Amino acid sequence: MTASTLRAWLLSDAPRSRLQARAGQAYLRWISFKTNPLALVGLAIVVVLLLMAAFAPLIATHDPLAQSLDHRLRPPSATNWFGTDALGRDIFSRVVHGTRITLVVVLFVVVTVGPLGLLIGATAGYAGGWVDTVLMRVTDIFLAFPRLILALAFVAALKPGIENAVIAIALTAWPPYARVARAEAMVIRNADYIAAVRLQGASATRIVLLHVMPLCTPSLIVRTTLDMAGIILTAAGLGFLGLGAQPPLPEWGAMIATGREQIFDQWWVATAPGIAICVVALGFNLLGDGLRDVLDPKQSQ
């Protein structure tokens, strides 16, 4: 199929299958997304992040864990593009491998937190009554936990590590999604199309899963993308405090922590991972903004 026939197929006025209809809508959204240059920058940053994480061993110039005490705290040079740290490890390679940790943190949190918050919120919003009250009070309990204190508690109870830091972040990150999903579900449940499905004999479960939740998904996608930046910063913060990734893992926050004593003389040790965090957080923010412009159902057709 040539490019122009594919385009015609996607933009067809009378699609012949569900696949064609869905693909057509996705294509229109992509066209709309493309008109926003900042969103494309954000997408590019995220794609670079993904590629770096996937091909880290190929992109890194050195072994990120290999110490070389003769070459400690060397400035950026031809061999060590970002210089070396206090144990002689190549910072560039550590930053590149750090993308994997960042990605794992972000994906784990988003994949658990998003759907969980959506399900709880949509159910509470649609059902109303005591179901709503109970679910929202549970949400409030988790909302009341300060994230860092919870992480400290986990670390004290279990051992410090990136897994426990991620769990702590996940447990405190889901309530806002539940609240937003609930607000949307409360509006949706009064719509005529929901009344129509009720009139077909659909059970409440079916309605929430198949009819209400799909409408809450676009705003969920936007919010999680925007929140990814915050999650990265929180994980970095925990790493900085020593509560997250443990040495010798090349987690960016931990790298900044170890580099903070040398920040005036050997600025590259803390700066490189710091810039990496900034760039990735910015990338997710821009992408999230771009997605919101495209997915926001309030946009006129």
Partner 1 sequence: MSAIHVDGLDVRFGETHAVRAASFVVAEGESFGIVGESGSGKSTVLRALAGLNPDWTGRMEVLGTAQGRQRPRSFYAAVQMVFQDPFGSLHPRQTVDRALAEPLAIHGLADAEARIERVLAEVQLGPGFRFRYPHQLSGGQRQRVAIARALILEPRILLLDEPTSALDVSIQAEVLNLLAELRLRLGLTFVLVSHNLAVVAHMCERIAVMNAGRIVEELTTASLRAGTPREAYTRQLLLASRGYDRAAAAQFRTFD
Distance from C-alpha of 268 to C-alpha of 106, rounded to nearest angstrom: 25
Q: Does 275 bind partner 1 (CB under 8 A)?
A: no
Interface with partner 1, residue 144, by CB under 8 A: no
Distance of CA 88 to the CA centre of its chain: 32
Terminal C-alpha separation, the chain: 29
Which residue's structure tokens are 């969920």? 220
Options 48-56, 115-123, 198-206, 256-264: segment touching partner 1 (CB under 8 A): 198-206
In terms of CB distance, is 219 or 266 closer to partner 1? 219
Could you tell me how many residues of this chain bind partner 1 (CB under 8 A)? 27
Closest distance to partner 1 from the beta carbon of 191 (Å): 6
Q: In whole angstroms, what is the distance from residue 59 CA to residue 241 CA?
A: 29
Out of 70, 130, 201, 298, the only residue in the binding site for partner 1 (CB under 8 A) is 201
- Least Å from the CB of residue 194 to partner 1: 8
Q: How far apart are CA 56 and CA 59, in angstroms?
A: 5
Which residues from 214-233 bind partner 1, rule CB under 8 A?
214-215
204 binding partner 1? (CB under 8 A): no
Q: What is d(CA 291, CA 225) in angstroms, rounded to the nearest whole number?
A: 8
Side chain identity at 163, as an amino acid letter? Answer: E
163 Cα distance to chain centroid: 16
Alpha-carbon gap, residue 101 to 46, rounded angstroms = 14
CB contact set of 220 (below 8 Å; sequence gap of 6+)? 114, 117, 118, 177, 180, 181
Contact stretch for partner 1 (CB under 8 A) within 20-28, 109-117, 130-138, 166-174: 20-28
Asked if 299 touches partner 1 (CB under 8 A), the answer is: no
CA-wise closest residue to 132 among 84, 185, 75, 169: 185
Asked whether position 129 contacts partner 1 by CB under 8 A, the answer is: no
Least CB distance to partner 1 at residue 25 (A): 7
Q: Which is nearer to partner 1, 9 or 142 (CB)?
A: 9
Give the 3-state secondary structure of residue 194: helix
Token pair of 96 as six digits: 């590149």
| 2, 4, 5, 17: which one binds partner 1 (CB under 8 A) | 17
Binding of partner 1 at residue 292 (CB under 8 A)? no
Q: Residue numbers of the site for partner 1 (CB under 8 A)?
A: 13-18, 20-21, 25, 191-193, 195-202, 206, 210-211, 214-215, 297, 301
